[in-house]
Structure 1
Amino acid sequence: MPVPAAPATEHPPVRVARPRIGLLGVMQPLYDDMIPGITEHQAAYAARVAEQLSEVADWTVGPPVRGRADAEDTVRGFEAAGLDGVLVVMLTYGPSLRLTPVLSRMRLPVALANIQPDPRVGASWDMADMTYNQGIHGAQDTANAMVRAGLPFEVVTGDWQDPAFAVRIDRWARAARAVTSLRSLRVGVFGYPMNGMGDARVDETALMRVLGPEVHVIAPGTLHRTMAGLPERAVADLMEWEDGVFEVDGRLSAEERTDHARMQLGIEQLLEESGCGAYSTHFDAIGEDGRFARLPMAAASTLMAKGYGFAGEGDVLAASAVYAAHQLAGDGHFTEMYAMDFPSDSVLMSHMGEGNWRIAREDEPVRLIKRPLGIGGLDDPPTILFRYRPGPATLASLVALGGDRFRLVVTEGEVIDAPELPSLEMPYGQFRPENGLRACMDAWLRAGGTHHMAMNTGARAEDWRVLCELTGVEYVRV
């Protein structure tokens, strides 16, 4: 189905599902005789924590875990419910070895909240208050056991009623959602990857073991047959939607627009049928097939705007990164560094013609243009043209280092309000790294950063860092 229309001057991020998080509260029966009712007292505290954080996630609060069997039952329930992650909260001290075996088998991302009911030590405290607020050494015991077991996890220390604590939990919850989504992701590859492009090559079984994405090859002929079988009404509806959202180039013929619309709808139908949340096309795989009139440029832009991951040239790594960028912030965008501009200390960002138009400037129309393109040897592909919106931005590159070793290279900076490039008929913008073009590029190359990457608007480096903490992927900020 076509994308719901956005207002002409606004391009809000795609809506992604709220994170669904389980709260695992830990204590032990040792204190029952000393403080009658302590289990109910601390269960109410766990419920208040979830209520305080209700704006950042949908919460499932398990009953207080008082031993290994309780932990097993609660975690099984979280996994059966398809939650995105588990927040461990020490309701009192809880011995770690009752919990660690359960966490070591659990696939859901974990954060350890180092918090306590009361934010300060009071003069009126007695032994009961000490017991209610002693979570810190349970957190230390549990974290130590998890480190020794080699389990990835995030830690958030703070006053649970402080807005800053909610910000950090929100970041972790979105990263947990991204990690869980990657573990079930399928990346559709139409045809084959670009020959000779080394930084996009990856051991697919290693990628699946470490991060989860599965590569699903789709024959170009399947796309051709799907396009032919589409109902005329669906094609007309998509073109009508485009008329309302984009400034459409009058030079585009009805044949060009119809063919493009069929390609977009055909790609999306195949992605839905095969359960793919991301995909990649390579111009040679489309061009050499012999049955297609043009490349699916505009299709990639609007499918990214709908929330699909995308990368060109069969690049599964970048397509997975763009998909994760959607899960983190809702505006994942595929791009690459084209050329350095030393006077402005920036780098020109673009690709052949694909880009998420939800990151477009809001003071200029997004245009659907007739655009000649020699690459692929086909007819002119309708292309969505826009300039990137000025402001903070983050680039992230997923790097395969061999075996099960992966690295994420990240840099923050800003898209500058650079002069227009009237002859450039593809999405573009100029990115100025926070540490300067020369230092950033030196470090990017030393770290093996790839030439395809995901982009988000905003400062998102910490979001990516947390994702790496939860997966064991090496994080390098340049």
Structure 2
Amino acid sequence: MTDRLPRIGLMGIMQELYDDMIPGITDRQAGYARDVAAHLADVAEVVVAPPVRGRANAERAMRDFENADLDGVLVVMLTYGPSLRITRVFNEARLPVCLANIQPDPTVTPEWDMADMTYNQGIHGAQDTANAMVRAGLPFDVITEEWQTEAFRSRVSRWARAARAVTAWRQLRVGIFGYAMNGMGDARFDETALARALGPEIVTIAPGRLYRATQELSSSEVAELMAWEDQRFSIDPRLSKEEREDHARLQLSIERLLREHDCGAYSTHFDAIGEDGRFPRLPMAAASTLMSQGYGFAGEGDALAASIVYAGHQLAGDGHFTEMYAMDFPSDSILMSHMGEGNWKVARDDEPVRLIKRPLGIGNLDDPPTLLFRIQPGPATLASLVALGGERFRLVVSEGEVLDSQELPALEMPYGQFRPASGVRTCMDGWLRAGGTHHMVMNLGHVAADWQVFCEMVGIEFYQV
């Protein structure tokens, strides 16, 4: 789901005042806008609007961007442009916005004449435009850079990926199969507040509908999935054909229902599946492979965590659902794992991902086939979405590294040891003070800055520990 580049619109702003003074300036600055787009071609697909020189131009450009299902709008001052002509556009903007404070030439030289001054005077247009955005209450990012540099391309890439995540997140539907775990307070929240403030919508799917879907599948669909698994994973010879078929039917049925309900994320709770009485085992391996395909996931009916795993996919790729299991003080790290669900796209590349037969007492069902792997060592980031009451939400984030640590042979679920950059003591003190939840998303790489841009655009408090 995140293989494509972000798709952004470039809105270049100027005014007619300069046309008589400098004939051809509009065409010249339109070419500058196209050059900026070309410079960004490897980090975003950029749609360039004709130069905006008045209110009608601005409104038409924004409508075109929104109708084209773009992820965000990059605003570039081609010259000075009075902000009152574009105030309504930003007051009603539905797409994430970034103001690129750039100019055609990076250096002021003695050779400059009035035309050069006019071509490069975007800075005070940016001030007028930014003032209009602030007055409109519009969250927006700002990038001041030399546009020809890698630094500019990198910063636009960060914003564009965050814009892609924000736009997708605002339209997200999270499917909950059954109900959420009783007593798990940090996953409780006001669903209407979430939809109002941030966008994600919760959809409840009855376990009975899931059961019927498993019965409607053809044997050829099941066989095709099992054949793919044979090619992709190391298969435990103790797994019976019946166990694998049950797992495959659950995975395919969950995926089918997610498509039918237009859900990009989901959660299952072991009690909701176990108490139903019709399912032989829990869908552990299903969660791992569906995450690898870009679906958000969380256990125990935790819609908040499922939604932020989905955002992690969109923002940085390969979101991995996990939780903190135990602290290891000698290595200054935290053992990360969960009951059996994890995105195998973050697995070590020097070890096979194993599909194993695995006893599990939780749910009081038969052994669930489970994908077992260790997490790839290297930089990583944790993020936890916290409901603070009403329409207030917070994202607690920690950067660090996954260690090339010891094997734990008795741990039959995905795992790794995460060493926070701030150290276990400081990290956990801050995490707990901030109300960080026990379910979270892990992304490989240091992406706290990406999460910060995401939070600023969507209206979430950002808290790094």
What's 1:153 paired with?
140
Instruction: Please state how far the C-alpha of 1:15 moved relative to its aligned partner.
Output: 4.8
Counterpart secondary structure, 2:413: coil
1:76 alignment partner AA = R
**1:301/1:354 contact within 8 Å kept:** yes
Q: Within the alignment, does 1:421 sit opposite 2:411 as a pair?
A: no
Whole-Å separation in 2 of the counterparts to 1:199 and 1:140? 42
Contact 1:93 1:134 in 2 (8 A): yes
CA distance in 1, matches of 2:396, 2:132: 29
Offset at 1:16?
Answer: 2.4
1:384 maps to 371
Map of 1:315-326 to 2, 5 A cutoff?
A: 315-326=302-313
Over residues 149-198 of structure 1, what are the superposed CA-to-partner deviations in whole Å (9 max), with x where a residue is unaligned? Answer: 22100001101110111001001001000000011111000000001111
* Distance of 1:205 and 1:229 partners within structure 2: 34
Specify the alignment match of 2:55 in structure 1.
Answer: 68
Partner of 2:354: 367
Whole-angstrom CA distance in 1 between matches of 2:2 and 2:130: 34
**2:179 alignment partner, one of 169, 192, 208:** 192
Q: Secondary structure at the match of 1:444?
A: helix
Distance apart, 1:17 and its partner CA: 2.1
- Deviation, structure 1 residue 273: 1.0
Letter in 1 for 2:427: C
Q: Is the 8 A contact 1:361 1:389 kept in 2?
A: yes
Asked if residue 303 in structure 1 is aligned to residue 290 in structure 2, the reply is yes
* 1:53/1:166 contact within 8 Å kept: yes
Q: Percent of pairs identical after alignment?
A: 74
Residue 236 of structure 2: aligned partner: 249
Task: Please state whether the residue corresponding to 1:179 is helix, strand or coil.
Answer: helix
Which residues of 2 match residues 156-167 of structure 1 at below 5 A?
A: 156-167=143-154
Counterpart of 2:425 (choices 422, 434, 438) is: 438
Contact 2:198–2:459 (Cα < 8 Å) also in 1: no
Contact in 1 for aligned 2:2/2:313 (Cα 8 Å): no
Secondary structure of the 2:21 match is coil
Secondary structure (helix, strand or coil) at the match of 2:443 reads strand
Figure out how many residues of one structure are paired with residues of the other and give that number: 465
Q: Which amino acid aligns with 1:354?
A: E
Letter in 2 for 1:301: S
Q: Distance in 2 between matches of 1:426 and 1:65?
A: 55
Q: 1:475 to 1:312 in 2, by over 3 A?
A: same
Displacement of 1:470: 0.8
- Counterpart of 2:224 in structure 1 is 237
SS in 1 for 2:315: helix
TM-score with structure 2 setting the length = 0.99
**2:430 paired with 1:477:** no
Whole-Å separation in 2 of the counterparts to 1:26 and 1:460: 31
Q: How does 1:54-203 map to 2 (within 5 A)?
A: 54-203=41-190
* Contact 1:410-1:476 within 8 A present in 2 as well: yes
* 2:321 is aligned with 1:334: yes
Letter in 1 for 2:210: L
Query: How far does the alpha carbon of each residue in 1:89-109 deviate from its partner, in whole angstroms, 9 at most, with x for none?
Result: 000011122212211201100
Does the CA contact (< 8 Å) of 2:318 and 2:345 recur in 1?
Answer: yes
Aligned to 1:265: 252
Q: CA deviation at 1:140?
A: 1.1
> Aligned residue for 1:286?
273
Give the match's secondary structure for 2:70: coil
Runs of 4+ in 1 over 3 A off after TM superposition: none
1:107-134 alpha-carbon deviations (Å, 9 max, x no partner) = 1000000000001111110000000000
Would you say the 8 A contact 1:398–1:409 is kept in 2?
A: yes
Equivalent of 2:31, from 44, 48, 55? 44
Match of 2:198 in 1: 211
Give the alignment's TM-score, normalised by structure 1.
0.96
CA distance in 1, matches of 2:458, 2:3: 21
Counterpart code for 2:412 = E
Partners of 2:82 and 2:395 lie apart in 1 by 35
Against the structure 1 CA distance between its residues 78 and 15, is the aligned structure 2 distance closer, same or farther, given a 3 Å change threshold?
Answer: closer
SS at match of 1:279: strand
SS at structure 1 position matched to 2:20: coil
Q: Tell whether the 8 Å contact from 1:21 to 1:57 is kept in structure 2 after alignment.
A: yes
Determine if the alignment matches structure 1 residue 401 to structure 2 residue 388.
yes
- The amino acid of 2:166's aligned partner reads V
User: Matches of 1:91 and 1:347 in 2, distance apart?
Assistant: 50
Q: 1:378-409: CA deviations, max 9, x gaps?
A: 01000000001100000001111111111111
Amino acid at match of 1:85: G
Segments of 5+ residues of structure 1 without an aligned counterpart are 1-13
Distance in 1 separating the partners of 2:88 and 2:451: 28
Tell me if structure 1 keeps the 8 A contact 2:374–2:414.
Answer: yes
Deviations 1:261-301 (A, max 9, x none): 00000000000111111000000000000100000000000
Contact 1:16 1:327 in 2 (8 A): no
